[in-house]
Structures are given as structure tokens and as C-alpha cells.
Amino acid sequence: MTTRPDDDDDDVMAAEYVLGVTDLAARQAAEARARRDPAFAARIAAWEARFAPLNDAIAEAPAPDLMPRIEARLFPIQPARRAPWAWLRGLGPGLVVLGLVAWFMLAPARPELTATLVPQNGGPTWLALLSGQDLVISRMAGRGPGEGRDFELWIIRGDAAPVSLGVMPATGMHLTVTDVTPGTVLAVSLEPKGGSPTGQPTGPILALGPLQKT
């Protein structure tokens, strides 16, 4: 390998990222650069490969069965933990309203709060239902995120900055949220694959709306 000083600087930066010694801002800057600079991404991959044998020194630890939680989050209609309103996902927006009315009349436990996330910037429409700490959000109409991009869900409490609730599968997800009151806003943004690199929305806001009492 040629070792011009600039190369060494880049290589040390990549190694520092892989080791994890820098602060969060420098880590996020390195990740952002790796996304747009394949040569830098290759330096990171090379350092990961150099250090990977040290992984043998990491002892395994008993892991509880987290799969039910993981699957409930990823697959809102997973039969093992099917949300009572999950069937609404399959319906078109017009039928959803009808379905919701029927569901409110029949459901044994109704959601306390709902939100319709209104499209901005030509984005999709989302419906969110909160029951206790269980939030189900489903895409009702509109397109998926497209190649190389992900939807990310945000919660905005009062005047506070948006807090990420995570990258969302294209059809929606089921997750647990706390500290939600009527008026708390949910928003969906379009982000690079894997989610916002900064911890705040970086792409366009596709839809948003407040949670309201049913």
C-alpha cells in the first residue's frame, strides 16, 4: 500500500472508527463519509477484517429469547402476537375508516389514542393506534421508501426535538412507547438505508400528525 500522509490520515480515521475510540460526532461523521466515499468504506472494511480475529476473545453470554419482541416490532401481523387491529393494514384507506368504526364498536379493548399521519411532500398516509404502551403504525396508502432508503418513525413530545422510534419496515411496525399524551406528534421521514446518520431527521418529512383521544 502506498502511504502518503493523507492516506495515513484517512486510514487512521477509519481505524479509530473501527476501534470506537472517538466521540459520537466523529463516529457519525465517519459513517456519513463511508456512505458517500467507497474508498473510505473500504478502509473501514479492511480494519474490521484486521481486528476481527480479536472477536474470539469476546465471551458468549446467555441471551434471553428476545425473538418475540423483535418479531413483534418487525412483523406487526405476526400471528404469535397479532395486534387486534392489524387486519386493518390490508384495507384501502376508504375501507379503513369503515373498518375502524366497526372495530371501535366490536373491539374489547379500544386504543386510547389514534393518529392519522397526513402526507407531506407526496408521501404515504399512515395510521397509528396506541393502546397502553403498544403502538401499531401501518402504511395505508402510498409507495414504499425506494431502493437504498428507509422510513424512520419519530416522536415529538411538546417542543422537544424529534426522538427516533427506529427504522420502520415499509408496511409499518408494532412497538412499545412510553410518555405519550394527547397532542404528542408522530412523524415519518425518508432516510438513507439504516436510518438517519445524525439522530435527527435528515430526509424529507413524509407524513405527520398528532395522537388524539378516540
Partner 1 sequence: MSGDPISALLQDVARQDRAAFRALYVAAGAKLMGTALRILQDRHEAEDAVQEVMTRVWLKAGAFDPARGAGPDPGMGWLVALMRNHAIDRIRARAPLSDDEAAIALAPDPAPRAEAQVIASAQARRIGDCLDRLEPDRAQAVRGAYLDGLSYADLAQRHGVPLNTMRTWLRRSLLRLRECMET
> Cell 379493548 appears where?
109
Query: Which 8-27 positions form the footprint of partner 1 (CB under 8 A)?
Result: 8, 11-12, 15-16, 18-24, 27
Provide the minimum distance between the beta carbon of 90 and partner 1 in the complex, in angstroms, as a whole number.
Answer: 18
Report if residue 193 touches partner 1, rule: CB under 8 A.
yes
Concatenated DSSP letters for the chain? ----HHHHHHHHHHHHHHHT-S-HHHHHHHHHHHHH-HHHHHHHHHHHHHHGGGGGGSPP------HHHHHHHH-TT-GGG--TTGGGGGS-HHHHHHHHHHHHHH-SS--SEEEEEEE-TT--EEEEEEETTEEEEEEEES----TTEEEEEEEE-TTSPPEEEEEE-TTEEEEE--S--TT-EEEEEEEETTS-SSSS--S-EEEEEE-EE-
Note whether 45 binds partner 1 by CB under 8 A. Answer: yes
Indicate whether 38 belongs to the interface with partner 1 (CB under 8 A): no
Stretch that binds partner 1, among 49-57, 109-117, 120-128, 206-214 (CB under 8 A): 49-57
CB of 105 to partner 1, least distance (A): 34
Is residue 161 near partner 1 by the rule CB under 8 A? no
Q: What is the largest CA-CA distance in the chain?
A: 72
The span of 32-40, 54-62, 96-104, 206-214 binding partner 1 (CB under 8 A) equals 54-62
Contact range with partner 1 by CB under 8 A, out of 53-61, 81-89, 103-111, 115-123:
53-61
Contacts with partner 1 in 81-140 (CB under 8 A)? none
**171 belongs to the binding site for partner 1 (CB under 8 A):** no
> Where do contacts with partner 1 occur on this chain (CB under 8 A)?
1, 8, 11-12, 15-16, 18-24, 27, 45, 48-64, 66-67, 69-71, 73-75, 150, 166-167, 169, 193-194
